[in-house]
C-alpha cells in the first residue's frame, strides 16, 4: 500500500514539473526543420556536357551549397530562369554544367 501511494505522488509531481510550453516549442521546431528541403543527389541532376562522374558532381554540389547565399548566385539563378528559394543553388549548378531532372522553381 505504501509503495503505491509513493509512486502515485512521484508521478503527479513529475507531471506537474514538466514545462509543456517548452516541449511543444521544441516539437514544433523539430517538425519545421526536419526534412523540409529537397535532397540534392547525383540522380536528381543530369550533366549538360554528357556523362560526368559522381565525384565531379559532389565537388560542384559542395561548392554551390557554400555559395548559394551570395547575391551573385541569386542573380545567376534568376538569369537561368529559376525562381524561389532554390534559385541561387540551381543557378550555380547550371553554371557548373548540371541541369535538374525535375523542376524545382
pLDDT digits (tens, 9 = 90+) for 22-34: 777 777 777 776 6
Q: What DSSP character marks residue 25? A: H
Q: Where are the beta strands (DSSP E) in the chain?
A: 45-47, 98-100
In a domain, 83, yes or no: yes
How do residues 67-100 score in pLDDT, each as one tens digit? Answer: 888 888 888 889 988 888 888 999 999 999 998 8
What's the pLDDT band for 16 if we cut at 50, 70, 90? low
Q: How far is CA 15 from CA 8, 18, 25, 61, 81, in A?
A: 11, 6, 18, 47, 54
Closest CA to 64 of 103, 36, 98: 98
The answer on 48 and 93 residing in a single domain is yes
- The count of other CB atoms within 10 Å of the CB of residue 104 is 16
In a domain, 9, yes or no: yes
User: How would DSSP label each residue in 48-64?
Assistant: TTS---HHHHHHHHHHH
The answer on 51 and 75 residing in a single domain is yes
Range of the domain at 16: 2-33
In a domain, 49, yes or no: yes
Mean pLDDT value of segment 48-60: 88
The answer on 90 and 57 residing in a single domain is yes
The answer on 52 and 95 residing in a single domain is yes
Number of structural domains found in the chain: 2
Amino acid at each position: 500500500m505504501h509503495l503505491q501511494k509513493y509512486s502515485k505522488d512521484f508521478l503527479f509531481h513529475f507531471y506537474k514539473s514538466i514545462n509543456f510550453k517548452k516541449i511543444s516549442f521544441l516539437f514544433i521546431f523539430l517538425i519545421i526543420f526536419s526534412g523540409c528541403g529537397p535532397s540534392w543527389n547525383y540522380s536528381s541532376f543530369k550533366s549538360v556536357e554528357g556523362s560526368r562522374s559522381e565525384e565531379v558532381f559532389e565537388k560542384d554540389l559542395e561548392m554551390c551549397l557554400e555559395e548559394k547565399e551570395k547575391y551573385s548566385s541569386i542573380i545567376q539563378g534568376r538569369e537561368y530562369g529559376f525562381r524561389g528559394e532554390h534559385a541561387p543553388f540551381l543557378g550555380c549548378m547550371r553554371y557548373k554544367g548540371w541541369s535538374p531532372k525535375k523542376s524545382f522553381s
